[in-house]
Amino acid sequence: MAAQLWRSLQPERWPLSIDQLPAGAVLVGGAVRDGLLGRLPETPDLDFIVPGQALASARRLARKHEGACVVLDAERDMARIALKGWTIDLAKQDGATLNEDLHRRDFRLNAIGLKLDGTTPRLLDPTGGLMDLREGRIAAVREKNLQDDPLRLLRGVRLMAELGMSIDAMTLEMIQRNRELLRRAAPERIQAEVLRLVAAPAAARAIQTTREMDLLQPWSTQNNTAFSPWSPAINEACALLTTDERAQALPLARLTALLSDTGLKQLRCSRQQMHRCARLRHWWMQTLGDEPCIHPDQLAEQDRLALHQDLENDLPAFILALPESEQTHWLKRWRNPQDPLFHPRPPLDGNSLQQNLKVHPGPTLGALIRHLTLERAYGRLTNREQALQAARSWLSHHPVSTAPNGSCD
């Protein structure tokens, strides 16, 4: 098994050769786990335990190979080397022996080591991680390890989502029992786990588990629409989407339904992420939320246009929530970049209006552009001449105010 793992790791592709690593280095963590599962990415993250001087070794290797060294934890002697698109972590052995280190890890399937010294690589499995891999099980090494780093509580559910495995009953009890400790983890670390969770292949079941345990309760929202982006029914809607559309729509829909706007802010999500979720949440609530709500097709023209302006790039996430009978029609229109409603654009830009109609920049010009965009979106304008005529007519009913310097606003 060790020899097969070694072949799948393809060490000849690594940016560092084995003999350049500190003596006694042991490969641990995700690369070992994923290699044994046959799911290694093109450039797996390489995590090594070393007997000592991890930070000094990382700095020396980074300088020698013109990479970057990042200090992860100076007190615990942990550092990262970024080199040629790879990340290589070095950490000082935690404990008097390698077995002690492996017994201090989060889950048994992450506590498998691959010894690289000698002529033949050897697997070390003091906690039973190999059996867990065979049986598709995620089990904590011990409860204290989860308490020592509460982020591990959430990581267990994230691994469930990524690996498609089940968390054993005893570990679920540990997570439930200690869920309040998650508040102690750094917000940025929680955010990183959540973003990986919502994008994972088996996210639906894992998110349901998260909600049943109230693991993200301080940051979550009650889903007050009839739509749950992790329900089994969502699979039918997802089948209509391309791979790229699905990769864009599902994580956004899950994140919006999982975390509140306040929770997104508390977890230090990016401004763009918060805006995307807020817009999607707003239109879900307008059209799918508790009463009163209104079907998108029954929205006033201005509101329907606003929906498509707000969600133009993220409309597949909204379409997931529509009745099945309407999803295909909406997708067809959204996939047509020339559709004037689903991809709203003004028929004339501000410069053209200023040059042809002598309208100066200001509120009047903005209102005119919005009017023309609406007219084009609903098919009432199809060419430039019609747009100019409509603009003249609109201006005749909306006198242009004069600014203090005598120019139009």
Question: What is the topology classification, in CATH, of domain 136-213?
Answer: Hydrophobic Seed Protein (1.10.110)
Residue closest to 207 by CA, chosen among 228, 230, 182, 174: 230
- Radius of gyration for the chain, computed over Cα atoms and rounded to the nearest angstrom: 28
Q: What is the average per-residue pLDDT within 194-208?
A: 96
Does position 331 have pLDDT exceeding 70, yes or no?
yes
Backbone angles phi, psi at 354, to 5 degrees: -65, -40
Does position 268 have pLDDT exceeding 60, yes or no?
yes
Q: What is the average per-residue pLDDT within 70-97?
A: 95
> Tokens in use for 301?
């023209």
Backbone angles phi, psi at 111, to 5 degrees: -110, 35
**Alpha carbons 308 and 334: distance in angstroms, whole number:** 9
- Look up the pTM and report it: 0.90
Q: Is the dihedral of CA 130, 136, 142, 148 positive or negative?
A: positive
Q: What CATH number belongs to 2-135?
A: 3.30.460.10
pLDDT digits (tens, 9 = 90+) for 1-10: 999 999 999 9
Q: What is the signed CA dihedral for 223, 224, 226, 227, rounded to 10 degrees?
A: -30
pLDDT digits (tens, 9 = 90+) for 55-67: 999 999 999 999 9
pLDDT digits (tens, 9 = 90+) for 275-303: 999 999 999 999 887 666 788 989 999 99
Share of the chain above pLDDT 90, in %: 86
User: Domain segments of the chain: what residues?
Assistant: 2-135, 136-213, 219-340, 350-397
